[in-house]
A and B are shown apart, each in its own frame.
Chain A
């Protein structure tokens, strides 16, 4: 993390991020199944509950000696613990909007736009204590290609069933 201005990200990190997108697809699929049997609220509640247990078990398994006090990690501000609120509210919003004329495609497309806008601001200003990252023309080119491809898949590719 020392060199936050690195212009060329590690390709393995990029691949890892791409792979976690696959995890997201699986997560959305399984949570959708649960929502179909029960309700969207129950699905999100249960996913957060089983996730809490899974994380606690993993932490217990991986638990090693506490780092010494001399390990100087800066203390996290209280607001840094609130990512879960933001995530839970997201689920409430999207489970509402998929049942409006926007449907799944509109919800996904607008969500994509929201994420892109936030991430640009986050890197530009280094929001919430994370490093600023200088954006190069190629970054905007890459972002444009991914957004265009995603929009095509969401708005045209997924449209066949409608």
Chain B
């Protein structure tokens, strides 16, 4: 059980590292160029990995509806935005607000899709996050 915990923690550290590196690249280039490099470098790594372990393109890939493929283009905007913001509001604010936005929109998406949730906890969580945002922008 120790290994999965370390992996999950490391994944979080790497999210921050990725944004920091892309933010640095954006200073020298542009946020969109940084996002381009982020995607092509990741694509190269995953291509190599897929060729080594095999099964890169599974049978079901063709059955997926077209909209399942728009996560990539959305990610381009996401990475570009993060690379632009991190130099302006800092790493803590960027991480905190992206997480907050992800949580609040996730609760909204779950409600829309009627995914069972514990409503009081989700509602209280949203309030705490909005309170944090209000505090962050105070003078």
By a beta-carbon cutoff of 8 Å, the part of chain A in contact with chain B is 1, 7-11, 13-14, 16-31, 33-34, 37-39, 41-56, 58-59, 62, 73-77, 79-94, 96-97, 100-102, 106-107, 110-120, 122-123, 127-131, 133, 135, 138-139, 141-154, 156-161
Using Cβ atoms and an 8 Å threshold, which residues of chain B touch A74? 27-28
Closest to B97 in A: A17
Do A115 and B69 contact each other (CB < 8 Å), given the known contacts A16-B85, A21-B99, A152-B128? no
Decide: B71 and A47 in contact? CB cutoff 8 A.
Answer: yes
Main secondary structure of the interface of B (DSSP, over half): helix
Residues 1-21 of B, flagged 1 when their CB comes within 8 A of A and 0 if not, give 100110111111111111111
B16: contacting residue among A9, A34, A114, A144, CB under 8 A: A114
Decide: A127 and B20 in contact? CB cutoff 8 A.
Answer: yes
Decide: A161 and B41 in contact? CB cutoff 8 A.
Answer: no
Decide: A39 and B45 in contact? CB cutoff 8 A.
Answer: no
Decide: B17 and A27 in contact? CB cutoff 8 A.
Answer: no
B7: contacting residue among A46, A93, A148, CB under 8 A: A93
Size of interface on B: residues with Cβ below 8 Å to A: 115
Main secondary structure of the interface of A (DSSP, over half): helix
Min CB gap B87→A, angstroms:
6
Decide: A19 and B101 in contact? CB cutoff 8 A.
Answer: yes
B72: contacting residue among A19, A29, A54, A130, CB under 8 A: A54
Min CB gap B63→A, angstroms:
6
Question: Can you list 30 contacts pairing A with B, beta carbon distance less than 8 Å?
Answer: A1-B27, A17-B93, A18-B104, A18-B133, A21-B101, A23-B77, A37-B64, A51-B76, A55-B40, A80-B24, A83-B18, A84-B43, A84-B44, A84-B45, A88-B46, A96-B7, A115-B99, A116-B95, A118-B12, A119-B95, A127-B20, A128-B21, A130-B87, A142-B96, A152-B121, A156-B121, A158-B110, A158-B117, A158-B118, A161-B115
Min CB gap A105→B, angstroms:
11
